[in-house]
Structure 1
Amino acid sequence: MESKVSEGGLNVTLTIRLLMHGKEVGSIIGKKGETVKKMREESGARINISEGNCPERIVTITGPTDAIFKAFAMIAYKFEEDIINSMSNSTATSKPPVTLRLVVPASQCGSLIGKGGSKIKEIRESTGAQVQVAGDMLPNSTERAVTISGTPDAIIQCVKQICVVMLESPPKGATIPYRPKPASTPVIFAGGQAYTIQGQYAIPHPDQLTKLHQLAMQQTPFPPLGQTTPAFPGLDASPPASTHELTIPNDLIGCIIGRQGTKINEIRQMSGAQIKIANATEGSSERQITITGTPANISLAQYLINARLTSEVTGMGAL
């Protein structure tokens, strides 16, 4: 967070950085950028969103303090609206709180926590918001995530108090800002289609995921998991199935399978392909994966598997 005080100390310009997931960013941007445009116009703050082929994006809000508070209020109320909308489609009865994540230079986190946690306790009690400062710095940076959750009003009060602390104790030394890493290469071509990766999903580029997914599901000669295979799959009108084999190091197979098979099932459902993982063989450091389906299914399954591997390896910081 930077602060610039003009002569007389009245016009205080602040920069606050927020860390958001792709879905949250989509909500803030809105259709054709209408929501973020409205937020910029009504708050008077500058709102910039980092480039996006990353699972996480940085939203930077700059302006005089009152403009920043207005922008924060609009974001908090937008997130609450999203929660209410998502609840109308679910059976949940209790409304989850709105949650925002600030990115704050680690050198300022001490002032925010206060001696023996006194400052953060005071902020929690006076605003009613939950505030948590991450113990570790964000990867390759000198910044930490500060998570605020509560009602929109509590969040706005909380942000105001945090801003006061930030202004009173500017960052010490150079700050290395956190830059979310792309989950993988920006665009990859597979099966005649270009994809980008967001989180662990391959997103056709531009947005044709639904079409591609429907196409893959129509073409697959295999029924959904749990049903029996037709007695004469050869009579099926779908394109012929082909098989592709991959070998994956044993120590990375876990990230493909996921907890209780969640990731591999996700990949099966998204790609429409059948995926079999061979049991570990003694003396071998690799496991064989067999993918069966149409060329479109296989391309998508391979792509999703590679995306999982890439995010696992970059997450570990190893090559």
Structure 2
Amino acid sequence: MEPTKVQSEGGLNVTLTIRLLMHGKEVGSIIGKKGETVKKMREESGARINISEGNCPERIVTITGPTDTIFKAFAMIAYKFEEDIINSMSNSPATSKPPVTLRLVVPASQCGSLIGKGGSKIKEMRESTGAQVQVAGDMLPNSTERAVTISGTPEAIIQCVKQICVVMLESPPKGATIPYRPKPASTPVIFSGGQAYTIQGQYAIPHPDQLTKLHQLAMQQTPFTPLGQTTPAFPGLDTSPPASTHELTIPNDLIGCIIGRQGTKINEIRQMSGAQIKIANAMEGSSERQITITGTPANISLAQYLINARLTSEVTGMGTL
């Protein structure tokens, strides 16, 4: 490689790390059967390709190496995605081929340089490569990184990534970067008769890993004593279990996580448990609110469990359950 070439592309053989954000399906396509595809990409490009762990709907793919190996890895990923698009089109009536789309995760402190004064740099990239480039206005949750979406033909994407790499090398990130970590997919868990179920769509499916720590904690707070199960005075007259009532007091500062925005959470709990739940208005001088749950013992147990799970997740910072 003659020296002028190195100069013109911004001192290329520097080790760089590029992070990509992908959906589970895209990650599956890159890993391939028994990891064969990613193995081939690593061998042929010479770049290190790491894929974040976890059953998240989104995963981070990190590509590290001298810039020329990164471009090879990117080319292989872009062509693989194009192949997936062509395969998915063979059984669909669509005639125009959708573009390949990749999402980079870039420290926010470098995004200004990518956009350029008054958007000049990003405009130049779009025009010179033919790729669409968009920098997200907001940072990704709990991080100081932004998503940069590139779409177009694989060739346009490769040219665009080269230009982005040059900018990133010329303007290193300022200050500490808090990397974006995708959150695990959270599916609500319900208990019934000692068995854990996850809710998927309209159905409750037995939950594989039974009681996790969090749920045990919530369970300890919810004694599963059937409430008000008394036999009716006149057997045969009342066949349904009698509705009973249970009262809870919740600190004022935690009531918000149970009610949710515009009552979304409390409505969810009502629907899932089938119990009636009334939250008393705040009493003057009291730091607690009264919650009254009415329904069958099973409904009440479930409502209590769901409320406790919300509280536990709020207090332990586990995010929303």
* TM-score, normalised via structure 2 length: 0.61
Q: In the aligned structure 2, how far is the partner of 1:90 from the partner of 1:269?
A: 38
Q: Secondary structure at the match of 1:252?
A: helix
- Show structure 1 runs of 5+ residues with no match: none
Q: Secondary structure at the match of 2:304?
A: helix
**Structure-2 change in CA distance of 1:209 and 1:231 (3 Å):** farther
**Structure-2 change in CA distance of 1:222 and 1:286 (3 Å):** closer
**Structure-2 change in CA distance of 1:70 and 1:10 (3 Å):** closer
Deviation, 1:183, is 2.0
**Structure-2 change in CA distance of 1:144 and 1:74 (3 Å):** same
Output one character per residue of 1:172-231: Cα deviation in whole Å (capped at 9) or x when no partner.
011010011112279999999999999999999999999999999999999999999999
Q: In the aligned structure 1, how far is the partner of 2:102 from the partner of 2:306?
A: 29
Aligned to 2:5: 4
Q: In the aligned structure 2, how far is the partner of 1:93 from the partner of 1:215?
A: 54
Q: Identity rate of aligned residues, in percent?
A: 97
Contact 1:213/1:270 (<8 A) preserved = no
Contact 1:216/1:272 (<8 A) preserved = no
**Structure-2 change in CA distance of 1:218 and 1:80 (3 Å):** farther
Contact 1:183/1:311 (<8 A) preserved = no
| Count of residues in Structure 1 that have an aligned counterpart in Structure 2 | 319
Deviation, 1:66, is 0.6
Q: In the aligned structure 2, how far is the partner of 1:119 from the partner of 1:56?
A: 29
Q: Are residues 1:13 and 2:15 paired?
A: yes
CA-atom RMSD in angstroms: 8.7
Aligned to 2:244: 242
Output one character per residue of 1:13-72: Cα deviation in whole Å (capped at 9) or x when no partner.
000000001111111111111111111011000000001211110000000001000000
Bigger Cα displacement from structure 2, 148-157 vs 245-254: 245-254
Higher-Rg member (1/2):
2
Aligned to 2:177: 175
* TM-score, normalised via structure 1 length: 0.61
Q: In the aligned structure 2, how far is the partner of 1:309 from the partner of 1:303?
A: 10
**Structure-2 change in CA distance of 1:232 and 1:246 (3 Å):** farther
Bigger Cα displacement from structure 2, 227-236 vs 255-264: 227-236
**Structure-2 change in CA distance of 1:10 and 1:209 (3 Å):** same
Q: In the aligned structure 2, how far is the partner of 1:46 from the partner of 1:89?
A: 35
Contact 1:4/1:12 (<8 A) preserved = no
Contact 1:200/1:311 (<8 A) preserved = no
Deviation, 1:92, is 1.0
Output one character per residue of 1:79-126: Cα deviation in whole Å (capped at 9) or x when no partner.
001111111111111110000000000000000000010000000000
Q: In the aligned structure 1, how far is the partner of 2:98 from the partner of 2:227?
A: 33
Q: Secondary structure at the match of 1:216?
A: helix
Output one character per residue of 1:113-146: Cα deviation in whole Å (capped at 9) or x when no partner.
0001000000000000000000000001000000
**Structure-2 change in CA distance of 1:167 and 1:253 (3 Å):** same
Q: Secondary structure at the match of 2:269?
A: helix
Bigger Cα displacement from structure 2, 219-228 vs 114-123: 219-228
Q: In the aligned structure 1, how far is the partner of 2:234 from the partner of 2:92?
A: 40
Contact 1:83/1:95 (<8 A) preserved = yes
Contact 2:245/2:292 (<8 A) preserved = yes
Q: In the aligned structure 2, how far is the partner of 1:212 from the partner of 1:70?
A: 44
Q: Secondary structure at the match of 1:292?
A: strand
Q: In the aligned structure 1, how far is the partner of 2:156 from the partner of 2:246?
A: 54
